[in-house]
Every structure is written in structure tokens, then in C-alpha cells.
Amino acid sequence: MGHVGIIGGGVTGLASALSLSKIGFQVSVFEADATPMPPSPEEAFDWNRRGAPQVRHSHALLGRLHNLLRDFHPEVLKMLLDVGATEIALARHMPETLDDLTPYPDDKDLFMIAARRTTFEWVLRQIVMSNPNVVIKTGQRISGLIMTEGDIPEVQGLMFENGGSEFFDLVIAANGRRSQAPEWFRGRGIELPEEVEDTGIVYYSRFFRVHESEELPVSDRLVAGDLGYLKYGVFWGDNRTFSITLATSDKDKTFWGVRDSKVFDQVVREIPAAGEWLTLDADPITKVHSMAGLLNRRRSLVDEGGVIIKGFHMIGDALICTNPLYGRGCSTGFWQAHLLTKAIEQNRDDSMIQAEVFAEDIEEHIIPWYQASVDSDRSNRELENGVPSEGANRKSILQNGLMPATQTSAKVWRAFMRMINLLAPPKSLNDPEIMADVLEMWEKRDERPAPPPLGPERSEMMDVLGLQEIA
Ligand SMILES: Cc1cc2nc3c(=O)[nH]c(=O)nc-3n(C[C@H](O)[C@H](O)[C@H](O)COP(=O)(O)OP(=O)(O)OC[C@H]3O[C@@H](n4cnc5c(N)ncnc54)[C@H](O)[C@@H]3O)c2cc1C
């Protein structure tokens, strides 16, 4: 039938192995990190994942991912729930203030999954490993590709850092944000089309676990906000864990101190919605982890002349990565694996057609999310830099129109939940019916009492923390 070599055993490498093995392919997954399979998700949380350091950060697992699991890989969803993840039925947590609380048929798709990223990866790996068509080799770094010469070179196999090589019928690079594939091709004079924009943020996350006496408060209320100089979010995990993430500008040295656990907790306490979580009967289970160099980036294996490499696909963060603040990478990565498998299944013997079909699907389904991330970051940057733009207006409509309307109009609440869970395209909120309710709410913004501030102004926060401005 065919033997596929996958570079990288993160979410999208495993997702590709899962779906390709189900349609009869032999699959070998090579993961650089030496992470033998531990007996439980708790031990996986301590995995040394140098190759995917983002596993130390909060991860939202959205409706699109939930539904792909439910509809195509129910055994994964079942095992996730069995090992302590929670399936959050958003419609069960509708705000009581909505104008219509009647359930809708589409509500069956409004789900999120509360689980740590390592738990999700552990479950995926367990299930994939149980398929006799799949072999996973950890601690096995790929150092290059076996490739033919010619106008359109064909990838025929993989070279291993510790010596040796292996031939495959098809190779998939699922080796993440730091994928070396562009360099491997550059070495052969091939430049992959690429577009990149730095998000300019630094991420700080810390995990906690509530004691057995306390339930994790799970609801539809997304605890996330933007104080201008600092963004925050609270994420549910599995097995009574939760995590808090702060994000600051990578140029704001004054706030780099939030990497210190004490400072981090102090900042969180000053933000009412997030601080509430620190009043739970809970203990921190990690220090504060930080991560910078976060990009919006898209690549392609197709240029104006068509497909540029045979026998090879790229997927996940290696192909497209977006600002983690929007929490979409695992869901869009899993979706990509699903689309790629479809393209391969329908064109088993022609990797060029597979690549064309996959590129079209990416353009239709994934690029709108990439573009939404880029547009939103640009508009935030303009706002921060005081550049006169439409950004200020858009932000005001978001804060004083859309967000309050999600609490009163069932139509807006559903449209918003569908959009953030990747079940409706980013532009779906521009629908005239939705916008009418949003704008009505926005136009009446001065008739309502001003909402309480999300948290202190920058100077107040600096005073509380005893920070001096660092230029
Ligand atoms: C700070 C942060 C927070 C995030 N938060 C969210 C969130 O809330 N929700 C969400 O859905 N997404 C989030 N993301 C994005 C998400 O983590 C990624 O989109 C997702 O991990 C991509 O999966 P992947 O399989 O493509 O890459 P990865 O998960 O990075 O896996 C790539 C794998 O390839 C391996 N590898 C690399 N090179 C080689 C080689 N040469 N040979 C063999 N193996 C190799 C690496 O060791 C790694 O295991 C976040 C990202 C960051 C940075």
C-alpha cells in the first residue's frame, strides 16, 4: 500500500499517523526528543520536550478539534475523557441573560476540551502506538532528505542524525515551528515561498492543581482580556489542573520580571477575573515558563509554477503557525492532518496532485485563520503605537458592542462561539444579522454604566509591583 515517513511526533505528526494508518498506510514516525512512553499523563507532563517547548504553556483545545475527534477518531476522545479531560458542552453554560435560551440543533457542535497539551499528546501517542501499521521512534532526529536531482526533485527518504537512512514512498514534515525543511531545500537551491511576521509578544504560563475537595470551575466564560500592556488568560486542564498565561510586548523590559513566580502571581492577583482563580484551594505545579520568538508564518510547497517538490508534504506549524494568543494551532494542525489524509487517499499514486489538492484546501480552510491572526496583530500594534487607524474603532466595537452582545443576544453568542471554535469562518461575525445586534449594543454604549476595568493601568501595576521603568 505504501510506507510514509513522518518527521516529528508532535500533535500533527501523530494526527497524520493516526489517520493515514486507518486508510492502510504503513507509517514510521521519527521524533527527535527522547521521550519514551510513560505509563500516565501525569508523567507525560514532566516529559523533556525541548523540541516542542510550547507544551509548557496553556493550550485551548477548540470545537473544530473536538468534532474531528468525535466524528473520525472517537477512540481518542474516549481515552482523553477516561484519563481525566473534560468535554465542555458550551450550550449547557449559556449566559442566563440571553434573549433566547432554546437549544439549537447546531449546539451539538459547540464543545471544547479541557486538557493539558501533554495529556492530549500522550493519549494520541497511546492510540497511534496501538495500531500495528505504525512505528514511533523517539530520540531519532532527522538530519536531511534523500532527494533526486531535476527541475522538480523528488524526496525519497530520510537521513538520520546518528547515521543511516531509510527510503519511503512519501515523506511528511511535521517538525514544528523550528522545522529544518526550508534549510534542507535551500541547500539544493530551492527556496520555499514564505511570509512571516513577528507577533512581538512574550508568553508566560504557570500551571496549578486544585485540591480534591474542590471542583474545577468550568463554564462558557472565557477568562481572557487585554490591559493594553499585558494580556491574560485562564485555561482549564485535565485532572483538576488549570493554567494562567500572561503575555507582554517583547520590547517592554519593565514587565520581563513576570517570569519570577512571585511577581507572576502578584500580577494575576491584581486582575480580578484571573485573580479569582488564585483564591481556589490550589497549588502551583510548575514554575513560570516563558517563550518568545512567536511568529505568524505561512509557507507553501506550491509556487506560481505549481508544485515544487514531489513525494513530500509539510504540515502543522512547519507549514503555518499563528499567534498562540488565539489558541488555534493544535486544532488547525489536526484539521490539516485530516485534509492531507483526504488528499492522499483520493490521489494515492500521485504526490503532485495530492500537493495541489492539499494546497487548495489549506487556502480555503486554514489561511483565513492565518490572515485573521495577522490582521488582528497588525491592528493591535497600530493601536499600541498610537497610529491613527481603523484599529481603535474595531477594538471599541469588540469591547463595547460584540462582547456585551454575547451576553444578551443568543444569535451573537452562538455566532461568536462558533467562530472562536473554528466552526464558522473568521468573517462570519460580519453577517448583517449579527452585526445589527452588535452595532445596536455599541451605539448604546454611553447609556450603560461603564464596565469595571479589567485590571490596573500600567503605572498602577508598576506601583503595586514596585517596578521601575526600564528603557
Ligand atoms: C506559547 C504557545 C502557546 C500555544 N497555545 C496554544 C493553544 O492554546 N491552543 C492551540 O491549539 N495551540 C497552541 N499553540 C500552538 C500549538 O502548540 C502548535 O500549533 C502545535 O504544537 C503544532 O503542532 P506540530 O505537530 O506542528 O508541531 P510541534 O508540536 O512543535 O511538534 C514538532 C515535533 O517535531 C520534532 N522535531 C523537530 N525537528 C525534528 C527532526 N529534525 N527530526 C525529528 N523530529 C523533529 C520536535 O521535537 C517536536 O516534537 C501554542 C504555541 C505556543 C508557542
135-148 pLDDT, tens digit per residue, is 999 999 999 999 99
Question: Looking at ligand 1, which residue's alpha carbon is closest to its atom 1?
Answer: 54
pLDDT of residue 1: 60
pLDDT of residue 380: 77
In this prediction, residue 388 has a pLDDT band, given cuts at 50, 70 and 90, of low
For cell 481515552, name the residue. 79
Which residues lie across from 7 on neighbouring strands?
A: 30, 173
Question: Looking at ligand 1, which residue's alpha carbon is closest to its atom 35?
Answer: 8
Q: Over the chain, what is the mean pLDDT?
A: 94
pLDDT tens digits, one per residue of 258-288: 999 999 999 999 999 999 999 999 999 999 9
In this prediction, residue 312 has a pLDDT band, given cuts at 50, 70 and 90, of very high
d(CA 378, CA 385): 11
Residue intervals of the chain classified under CATH 3.30.9.100 are 198-291
C-alpha 267 – ligand 1 centre gap (Å): 28
pLDDT tens digits, one per residue of 413-466: 999 999 999 999 999 999 999 999 999 999 999 999 888 899 999 999 999 998
Question: Looking at ligand 1, which residue's alpha carbon is closest to its atom 29?
Answer: 10
Beta-strand runs (E) in 124-200: 134-138, 142-147, 155-160, 165-167, 170-173, 194-198
Q: What is the atom index within ligand 1 of the atom nearest the CA of 65? A: 11
SS3 assignment, position 22: helix
In this prediction, residue 193 has a pLDDT band, given cuts at 50, 70 and 90, of very high
Residue intervals of the chain classified under CATH 3.50.50.60 are 3-59+116-196+295-373
Whole-structure pTM value: 0.96
C-alpha 220 – ligand 1 centre gap (Å): 26
C-alpha 14 – ligand 1 centre gap (Å): 11
Note the CATH number of domain 3-59+116-196+295-373.
3.50.50.60
Question: Looking at ligand 1, which residue's alpha carbon is closest to its atom 16?
Answer: 329
* Statement: 198-291 belongs to CATH 3.40.50.300: no
C-alpha 145 – ligand 1 centre gap (Å): 21
Cell numbers representing residue 325 in the block: 494568543
Q: What is the atom index within ligand 1 of the atom nearest the CA of 330? A: 11
CA distances 360 to 122, 216, 265, 300, 354, Å, are 31, 42, 45, 11, 10
Query: Ligand 1 pocket by C-beta < 6 Å: which residues?
Result: 7-13, 30-33, 51-52, 54, 57-60, 141-142, 174-177, 180, 203, 291, 294, 316-318, 321, 324, 327-331, 333
Phi, psi angle pair for 330, to nearest 5°? -70, -40
pLDDT tens digits, one per residue of 200-244: 999 999 999 999 988 777 665 678 999 989 999 999 999 999 999
C-alpha 375 – ligand 1 centre gap (Å): 22
Q: What is the atom index within ligand 1 of the atom nearest the CA of 176? A: 27
